[in-house]
Structures are given as C-alpha cells and as structure tokens.
C-alpha cells in the first residue's frame, strides 16, 4: 500500500514557526509531526511512503536522515521518498504528482493519505479497508472546512468545501482518505481538473473525493479516535519552544 503525506505548503496557521520551518516539522510530544505520520502509515500497512515537498524541502529531506537514525527498522524496511510539487496549486495536484510515479508500475496500488499537519489516534486496521473511505470529525466553524453530507449514519454522499450556509451536519472531512485502487484517484483528479469552474483557483483533493462519492454513490466514514494537529499543538508546545526543538534536531542531524 502506498502512503502519501502532502507537505509542500508553507502553512499559515502556525504563525512564525513556518517562517523558518515547514509545518510538517512542528513537534508533537517532542517529535516532528512528520515522524508520527510516517510511523502511522507504516503501522497501517504502507510499504512505501511518498512525501510531497516544496517549501523548504531541504529541511524535510534532512529530517528524513534523522528519522532513519531514530527508526532504522521502519526506514530500511519501507520505501520512503520525497516527490517535489513544483507549483503550489492545490492538494489534488499534490497527490497527482505522486500518482504519476506509480501509474505505470502499479495502478492498482491501495492508497492511504494523511495530511502533514494531522495525527490520528489509532492506525488503520484490516477491517477498515472498505472499497474507499474518508475520516470525519465534528467541527463548529463550518466555513473553514470541507463539510460532508452523510446518509445512513455512516456514508458520505457529498463534500461541500467551506460552505457559506450552515450544512445539514457538523461533520467535516478530517484529512485522511483511503482508496482501494490508485487508478480511481487518478481518474477522479483528472475529472476534477477538467470540470473546475475557476482554473486559477487551487484544485482541492476534496473535489476528487466528491467525484468518487458521486460515482460510487457513497463513501463509508471511519473514526480514528482523537485527532491532533499542529494548530492544537501550538497552544501546548509554544512557537518558541517548537523552534528550539526542531533546531536542536537539525543540529543533531548535521552530526550524523
């Protein structure tokens, strides 16, 4: 199974930290969120992991050297690599960059994606592997998120990106998805790009997922427990302390 971590963007929600570091390096309990995500994808069954990079990509690549030293078994038993997204034109393009690498080799790869600023409480289990699924959580500020329209208590039938009017549910896509075949996702992204009404606007991966939901009628939802993201961690870690933690990690990496 292929794991994908989109980590190309600068990140504006973490303030001054992202003036110096990519948000995927923000520490949670002393380790960059990137490390948590890699370990989560491996625990969920991924044998290769693509990290999509752009902003300060050299720091992410340096952090992978540190990861290899800290988790040698995980690193050497898993194909972990970076893929550059040259233009920051949306998460759909970020995923498409990775899929181009595997389209010829194995279009039937399973794909599991987690946003680079998110940590899930529990790993994927074999029983979770439906045809496709997305993760959801309850939110209050619906205008900031991709909201989902749910039927039968467990199926997503539509995605609504940053709605201006209050949606029928308080459930939002929380940033994890799984598809049984990479080819499903490739086709959905291509259709989302062709149908996009505003070419200059970013094409979000939620638009591709909306096409999958429409074609398959529904996408089951999965609850991964409590979610932690870098914005929540700012309150507990603090920007200055987070910068010190990452700075010291990078110094350790320079000595490897």
Q: Tens of pLDDT along 50-109? A: 999 998 899 999 999 999 999 999 999 999 999 988 877 777 778 888 888 764 466 678
Q: Alpha helix locations (H) across the chain? A: 17-20, 33-43, 57-70, 72-77, 91-102, 182-195, 205-216, 230-237, 239-254
Say if residues 192 and 207 touch (Cβ distance below 8 Å): yes
> What would the two tokens of residue 33 be?
């969120």
What's the pLDDT at 25? 86
Residues of the chain with pLDDT below 50 are 103-104, 199-200
- With DSSP H G I counted as helix, E B as strand and the rest as coil, what are the percentages for the chain, rounded to 5? 40, 25, 35
Give the start-to-end residue ranges of the domains of the chain: 2-254
Q: Which fold has domain 2-254?
A: Spore Coat Polysaccharide Biosynthesis Protein SpsA; Chain A (3.90.550)
- Rounded to 5 degrees, φ, ψ at 93 are -65, -35
What's the pLDDT at 216? 60
Q: Tokens 């050497």, residue? A: 76
Nearest of 68, 71, 61 to residue 8 by alpha carbon? 61
Nearest of 67, 66, 115 to residue 227 by alpha carbon? 115
What's the pLDDT at 200? 40
What's the pLDDT at 52? 93
Measured between alpha carbons, how far is 134 from 143 in angstroms, rounded to an integer? 20
What's the pLDDT at 41? 93
What's the DSSP call for residue 178?
E
What's the pLDDT at 104? 46
Cα–chain center distance at 58: 19
The answer to whether the pTM exceeds 0.85 is yes
């Amino acid at each position: 199974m292929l794991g994908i971590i989109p980590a190309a963007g600068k990140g504006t929600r973490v303030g001054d930290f992202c003036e110096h570091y990519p948000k995927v390096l923000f520490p949670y309990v002393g380790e960059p969120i990137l490390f948590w995500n890699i370990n989560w994808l491996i625990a969920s069954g991924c044998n290769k992991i693509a990290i999509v990079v752009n902003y300060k990509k050299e720091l992410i690549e340096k952090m992978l050297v540190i990861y290899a030293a800290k988790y040698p078994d995980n690193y050497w038993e898993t194909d972990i690599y970076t893929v550059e997204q040259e233009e920051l034109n949306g998460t759909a393009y970020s995923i498409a960059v990775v899929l181009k690498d595997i389209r010829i080799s194995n279009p039937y790869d399973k794909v599991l994606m987690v946003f680079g600023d998110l940590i899930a409480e529990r790993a994927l289990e074999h029983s979770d592997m439906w045809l496709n699924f997305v993760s959801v959580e309850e939110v209050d500020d619906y205008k900031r998120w991709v909201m989902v329209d749910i039927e039968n208590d467990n199926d997503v039938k539509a995605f609504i990106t940053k709605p201006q009017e209050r949606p029928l549910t308080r459930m939002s896509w929380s940033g994890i998805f799984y598809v049984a075949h990479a080819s499903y996702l490739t086709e959905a992204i291509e259709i989302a790009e062709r149908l996009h009404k505003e070419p200059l606007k970013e094409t979000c991966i939620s638009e591709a997922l909306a096409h999958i939901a429409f074609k398959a009628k529904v996408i089951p939802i999965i609850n991964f427990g409590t979610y932690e993201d870098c914005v929540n961690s700012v309150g507990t870690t603090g920007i200055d302390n987070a910068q010190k933690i990452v700075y010291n990690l990078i110094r350790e990496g320079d000595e490897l």
